[in-house]
Amino acid sequence: MNHLEMEMGKFELFMVILIVSGYGFVDSLRMDYYFMMNCPFAEGIVKNIVNRHLQADPTLAAALVRMHFHDCFVQGCDASVLIDSTKDNTAEKDSPANLSLRGYEIIDEVKEQLEIQCPRVVSCADILAMAARDAVFFAGGPVYDIPKGRKDGTRSRIEDTINLPPPTLNSSELIRLFGQRGFTAQEMVALSGAHTLGVARCSSFKHRLSNFDSTHDVDPSLDTQFAQTLSKRCTSDKSEQAFDTTKDTFDNDYYNALQRNTGVLFSDQTLYNNPRTRGIVNAYAFNQAVFFLDFQQAMLKMGLLDVKEGSKGEVRANCRIIN
C-alpha cells in the first residue's frame, strides 16, 4: 500500500466516525451492542457468510440491499419482510412488489449460526441491516458501520407494502414519498444510487416501450438506441436489463447512465429530467467519493426508520416465523 492509499484509508475511517457521531441514535441502539450482549462474533459471522455467498453469486449484493430497503420502508427496519405467509395471513414477501426479492437463504444461514453461538440475542432486523452493509462493501462500495440493537417486528401484512415506491413515479412524487419518511431530495437521489447494483425486470419498464403499448410512443426521455435495446431484451415480463454497465460493482455509473438517458426505470431517469434533482445526479456522476459519502449517510439514516425497541419487538428464533 502506497502513501496515498494509506492517507485515503485514514480519511475514509475518519469520515465513518464523523458520520456515525453525527446521528442521535435510538436509545437502545449502539455500535458495540453485541459486544455488550456477549456476542462479539456476531458481525464477523454475518460478514463471512455474506462474503461466501457473494463470491459464488455476485448478483446477491443487489438482492440484499434491495431487501433491506423493502424491509425498512414498510413498518420500519424490523425484518417484517422475512416473515412467511400463513393460512390466516398473507405476508409482505408475497406482495407483487416483493415477489422478485432474493437472498432469504443467506439470512437464514446467518441466523442458524448465530442461534448456535448466541441463542435469541441477534435480531433478524440487525442481520438484514448488517448483510446489506456488507454487500455494499464487498461489491466495491463505501465502508460504513451501523448501530445495532433493533428488535424484530411481529406484523407482516401484504397491504402494508402499498408504502413501497413503484417504478412509475416521477421525481416530484419520489421527493414527496421519501419526504414523508423524513428524507431530503438529496438523500432520495443518493439512495436511488443503490441501483448501481442489479437488474430490473421487463415488467417494471415495458410501459416505456411503444411495442408494448400501441397507444403511446417510446418514452421521449429514453435514448433512441437504448430503447431499441430494451425492446429486443423484453421477450417476456421476466426478462432482465442491468441498471448500468457494471451491474455487480458498486460505483457511480448509475448516474452516468442517467446523463446518457439510459436509465432503465422511469423512476430512475426522472431524477435527471427534473431540474430539482438533476444537479445532484450530475454531482454524483462527476465525483464518486461524494456519492459514496452521501449514500452511506442516507443508508445509516434509513436503517433507523421506525426501529422497534424493548417490548415493541422481539428477537425471533427463526427469521421466517414470529415467536
196 annotated as belonging to a binding site for a ligand: yes
223 annotated binding-site participant: no
Asked if residues 22 and 211 have their Cβ atoms less than 8 Å apart, the reply is no
For cell 411481529, name the residue: 154
Q: Give the cell for residue 29.
A: 441502539
Tally the C-alpha atoms within 13 A of residue 256's C-alpha that lie toward its C-beta: 10
Ligand-binding annotation for 142, yes or no, is: no
Residue 70 known to be catalytic: yes
Nearest by Cα to 29 from 301, 289, 225: 301
Q: Is residue 217 within 8 Å of residue 230, measured between CB atoms?
A: no
- What residue spans of 86-196 are helical by DSSP H? 104-117, 124-138, 171-180, 185-192
Cα(295)–Cα(273) distance, rounded to whole angstroms?
21
C-alpha separations of 30 from 13, 20, 82, 150, 244 in Å: 18, 10, 23, 10, 36
- Of the residues 3, 70, 207, 216, which is catalytic? 70
Question: Known binder of ligand: residue 251?
Answer: yes
d(C-alpha 315, C-alpha 193), whole Å = 31
78 assigned ligand-binding residue: yes
253 annotated binding-site participant: no
Q: Which of 294, 246, 244 is nearest to 269 (CA)?
A: 244
Whether 179 has a binding-site annotation, put simply, is: no
Q: Is 219 annotated as a binding residue?
A: no
Question: Which residues are identified as catalytic?
Answer: 70
Residues in binding site for substrate? 165
Residues in binding site for heme b? 195
Residues in binding site? 71, 74, 76, 78, 80, 92, 165, 195-196, 244, 246, 251
